[in-house]
Amino acid sequence: MKKQIILYYFTGTGNSLRIAQVMQSMFQKEGLKVSLLNIAEEKTLLLDLNHAIVGFCYPVYSFGMPRIVKNFMEKMPKASGTEVFLGATNGGGIGSAVIQGWKLLEKKGYVLLDSESIEMPNNYVVGRIPEEEECRKQVRAGEAKAEAFVQRLLAGGTKHIAKTGGLKGLLMAAASRGFTRYLPSMAKKFHTDENCNECGYCETICPTKSIILMEGEPKWLDTCEQCFRCINYCPRESIQTYGKTKGKRRYKLLPFQEGQK
């Protein structure tokens, strides 16, 4: 195995970042150099990938890959056999999130080393966020699966493509296409309630700079990825969406400082 790993990640509420950090630590214990790079950072560069193994760690949104990750992969340089691995975190279904990424990379000349679906706590407030103890168990299980994934990679990988097959997989793929189609309009569903004190925290932590304050009131742009960081991390839980989130549990895995992506 090559001695350098370039590991790109995108994270909303911290699941994918936590898994990427676990993988980074495991690789480093084996003497490998790891560059952990945030796709959402403007300064993130497409490095010389010919002398490294390239990895991606990203969340699953409606059974597909995030738009920001897709756009990043499309900008990647062509390769000639550079090995790549993909890890997708999800709250209950990998769908086509890995195979979507793999198809993009395969066209550019990358070779699949391995891929994995890693279940972590759901952060979709519209649905159900697990209770705290259940979240802790899921995080521990996700970290253990990430460690096992690294061991597979160190052993040469299995060229496995993680996906949901059968009729369920087809339905998930259809849901992913619908999500992608309507994504630009979904931002309009976000709003604040009477608890908002116009602190601006949501604007500072949005990884895609998709929240702006207009006369003190947050407004969401169509570049919103639906990562749900804002709604989960609002200190007053005043951000709502779809009329189904008021009073529901929020999910916070990692602390995000102002300006952190």
CATH classification at residue 215 = 3.30.70.20
Among 135-144, 167-176, 203-212, the range scoring the smallest mean pLDDT is 167-176
pLDDT above 90 covers a percentage of the chain that reads 78
Shared domain for 99 and 142, answered yes or no, is yes
Work out the number of other CB atoms within 10 angstroms of the CB of residue 176: 20
What's the domain count of the chain?
2
Residues 104 and 64 in one domain: yes
Tell me what pLDDT residue 213 has: 96
Query: Quick check: 258 pLDDT over 80?
Result: no
Instruction: Give the CA distances from residue 209 to residues 53, 59, 181, in Å, rounded to whole numbers and listed in that order.
Output: 30, 18, 21
Using 50, 70 and 90 to split pLDDT, how confident is the model at 128? very high
8 shares a domain with 114? yes
Q: Which of 99, 134, 166 is the last residue of a domain?
A: 166
Q: Taking 90 as the threshold, does the pLDDT of residue 123 lie above it?
A: yes
How would you label 195-223 residue by residue, b for 16+ Cβ within 10 Å and e otherwise? ebeebebbbbbbbbebbeeeeeebbbeee
Within a domain: 259? no
- 260 assigned to some structural domain: no
Give the mean pLDDT of 245-259: 85
Task: For 190-238, write each residue's pLDDT tens digit.
Answer: 999 999 999 999 999 999 999 999 998 999 999 999 999 999 999 999 9
Q: Is 115 helix (H, G, I), strand (E, B) or coil?
A: strand
pLDDT > 70 in the chain, percent: 95
Same domain, residue pair 75 and 114: yes
Q: Specify if 22 maps to a domain.
A: yes
Verify that 64 and 103 share a domain, yes or no: yes
| Interval 176-190 mean pLDDT | 91
Residues 29 and 105 in one domain: yes
Contact 163, 99 (CB under 8 A): yes
Shared domain check, 83 and 22: yes
Within a domain: residue 9?
yes
Q: What angle do CA 192, 241, 225 make, to 5 degrees?
A: 105
Does residue 96 lie in a domain region?
Answer: yes
For the chain, the distance separating the N- and C-terminal CA atoms, rounded to the nearest angstrom, is 31
Last residue of a domain, one of 118, 135, 166: 166
- Would you state the pLDDT for residue 10? 97
| Sequence-ordered list of residues with C-beta below 8 angstroms from that of 15, at least 6 positions apart, any chain | 59, 89, 120, 121, 123, 142, 253
Query: What is the tens place of the pLDDT at every residue in 34-56?
Result: 999 999 986 666 666 678 999 99
Residue 214 lies in a domain: yes
Q: What is the pLDDT of residue 245?
A: 97
* Claim to verify: residue 55 and residue 130 sit in the same structural domain: yes
Tell me: pLDDT of 148 over 70.
yes
- Give the domain range for residue 193: 185-241
Looking at the fold, whether 190 and 159 belong to one and the same domain comes out as: no
Instruction: Assign 92 a pLDDT band (cuts: 50, 70, 90).
Output: confident
End position of a domain, from candidates 166, 199, 215: 166
Question: Within a domain: residue 248?
Answer: no
Check residue 260 and give its pLDDT. 67
Work out the mean pLDDT of the chain and round it to a whole number: 92
Is 257 contained in some domain?
Answer: no
How many residues would you count in the chain?
261
Question: Both 151 and 31 in a single domain?
Answer: yes
Residue 141 belongs to domain with CATH number: 3.40.50.360
Give CA–CA dist 227/186, Å, rounded: 12
Mean pLDDT value of segment 3-29: 96
Kindly report the pTM of this predicted structure.
0.93
Claim to verify: residue 42 and residue 74 sit in the same structural domain: yes
Do residues 47 and 135 share a domain? Answer: yes
